[in-house]
């Protein structure tokens, strides 16, 4: 629930209209209404069992993830054609909530998924400039973090930051969609065959190269690198079973980079961080002064899949099929998540 997420103790909560939302019309509009109600602090409620849900005094900052450019919203048309889902999610939130967020001392913050190149970043920047102009909001008010989760975007990180210019907040390393992009792009080539997904960790050479390059690119541009929430979730008991906890901050890029973790999804309880990870490394609030000039990532490094040993197994294929079926079943029920193993 939105109340739990905002009360979680995290600094930032991602309101996710992409992977964590099955895009039924009720979910799309209901999610926007929840955000508006939360910003106006009128979302408190009591369930039939008597438990009250109320917003606290200190809330997580809201960051909205719209759907990607590749998706359409079939419920809305312009000139007889479906409207891009990205514009629906962005437009509804920005029109109704941007000024309210500014009045409350916050701002319109976004988390942009599935970008494939600098041209899609340029398109987002054009949208931001036009939206701010139409609503009389100063240019540069919007801040956006871009997920680098396609192999083509990994080759254009600097260009993506440049295209967003004053609207850029940083880049995010999206592991699972990045792997999907590798499979989609190179799946016809045997030299890009990946082992079982459980064996493809962030220590894999091509993934380590990708995260090191992301940290270096962000630090040189004085932008923040970050990582997504963890794949594995701890279950609570009773009615709250299945809601995910925020994992500890992720150390990345050797000893010279830190990927801040984003708290995301529809509902997250208060995160429990191991004691040894409660302090940030170094003396300051960030490590942007460490430009990582020692990092030298080549195109070959980003594509070094063959350095992972082991072919896919029959058990791994069965796990993938099981996960796919569970996910599709949940999707058809209007839910965008499902508990699974593996």
Domain ranges for the chain, please list them.
2-233+241-270+286-311
Question: Residue 154: its pLDDT value, please?
Answer: 97
CATH of domain 2-233+241-270+286-311: 3.20.20.360
What radius of gyration do the chain's Cα atoms show?
A: 20
Whether the predicted pLDDT of 321 surpasses 90: yes
* Predicted confidence band of residue 327 (pLDDT cuts 50, 70, 90): confident
Whether residue 268 has pLDDT greater than 50:
no
Structure tokens at 176: 């699972």
Task: Find out whether 16 and 63 touch, Cβ atoms under 8 Å.
Answer: no
Is the pLDDT at 35 greater than 60, yes or no?
yes
Task: At 217, list the tokens.
Answer: 């690119």
Question: For residue 328, how many other CB atoms are within 10 A of its CB?
Answer: 11
Helices 25-39 and 85-103, interaxial angle, to 10°? 10
- Per-residue pLDDT reduced to its tens digit, 282-291: 455 556 566 6
- In the chain, pLDDT over 70 holds for what percent of residues? 79
* Top mean-pLDDT range of 112-121, 170-179, 266-275, 295-304: 112-121
pLDDT of residue 241 exceeding 70, the answer is: no
Question: pLDDT tens digits for 300-316?
Answer: 999 998 877 678 899 99
Mean pLDDT value of segment 164-184: 93
Banded pLDDT at 230 (limits 50, 70, 90): low
Q: Is the confidence at residue 121, as pLDDT, over 90?
A: yes
pLDDT of residue 45: 84
Look at the block and give the residue holding tokens 């069965």.
318
Over residues 143-154, the pLDDT tens digits come to: 999 999 999 999
Among all chains, which residue has been given the structure tokens 């940290």?
215
* Residue 130: predicted pLDDT: 98
Region 107-135: mean pLDDT is 98
Dist CA 129 CA 180 (whole Å): 32
Q: Are 266 and 16 in contact (CB under 8 A)?
A: yes
Q: State the average pLDDT for the chain.
A: 83
Please tell me the predicted confidence (pLDDT) of residue 239. 44
Q: Which residues contact 294 (CB under 8 A, 6 or more apart)?
A: 256
Of the candidate ranges 58-62, 96-100, 107-111, the one whose mean pLDDT is the lowest: 58-62
Task: Let me know the angle formed at the C-alpha of 44 by 43 and 49, rounded to the nearest 5 degrees.
Answer: 130
Q: Are 175 and 131 in contact (CB under 8 A)?
A: no
- The DSSP symbol for 308 reads S
Judged against a pLDDT cut of 90, whether residue 80 lies above it is answered with yes
Q: Say yes or no to pLDDT of 242 above 70.
A: no
Find the helix or strand (DSSP H, E) in which 36 lies: helix 25-39
């Amino acid at each position: 629930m939105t109340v739990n997420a905002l009360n979680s103790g995290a600094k930032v909560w991602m309101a996710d209209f992409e992977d964590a939302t099955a895009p039924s019309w009720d979910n799309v509009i209901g999610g926007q209404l929840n955000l508006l109600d939360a910003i106006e602090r009128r979302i408190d409620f009591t369930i039939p069992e008597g438990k009250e849900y109320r917003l606290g005094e200190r809330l997580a900052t809201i960051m909205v993830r719209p759907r990607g450019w590749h998706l359409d919203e079939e419920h809305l048309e312009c000139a007889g054609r479906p409207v891009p889902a990205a514009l629906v999610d962005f437009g509804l939130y920005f029109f109704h909530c941007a000024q309210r967020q500014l009045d409350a001392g916050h701002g319109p913050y976004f988390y942009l998924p599935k970008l494939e190149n600098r041209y899609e970043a340029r398109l987002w920047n054009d949208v931001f400039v036009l939206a701010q102009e139409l609503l009389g909001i100063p240019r540069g008010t919007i801040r956006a973090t871009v997920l680098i989760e396609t192999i083509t975007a990994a080759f254009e990180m600097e260009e993506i930051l440049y295209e967003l210019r004053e609207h850029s907040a940083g880049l995010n390393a999206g592991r699972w969609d990045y792997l999907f992009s590798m499979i989609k792009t190179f799946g016809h080539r045997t030299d890009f065959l990946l082992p079982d997904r459980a064996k493809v960790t962030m220590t894999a050479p091509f993934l380590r190269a990708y995260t090191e390059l992301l940290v270096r690119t962000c630090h040189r541009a004085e932008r923040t690198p970050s990582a997504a929430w963890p794949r594995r979730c701890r279950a609570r008991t009773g009615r709250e079973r299945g809601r995910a906890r925020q994992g500890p901050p992720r150390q990345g890029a050797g000893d010279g980079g830190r990927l801040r973790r984003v708290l995301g999804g529809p509902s997250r309880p208060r995160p429990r961080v191991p004691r040894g990870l409660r302090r940030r490394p170094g003396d300051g609030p960030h490590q942007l002064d460490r430009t990582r000039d020692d990092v030298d990532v080549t195109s070959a490094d980003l594509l070094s899949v063959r350095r992972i040993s082991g072919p896919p197994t029959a058990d791994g294929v069965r796990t993938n099929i099981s996960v796919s079926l569970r996910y599709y079943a949940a999707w058809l029920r209007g839910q965008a998540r499902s508990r699974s193993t593996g």
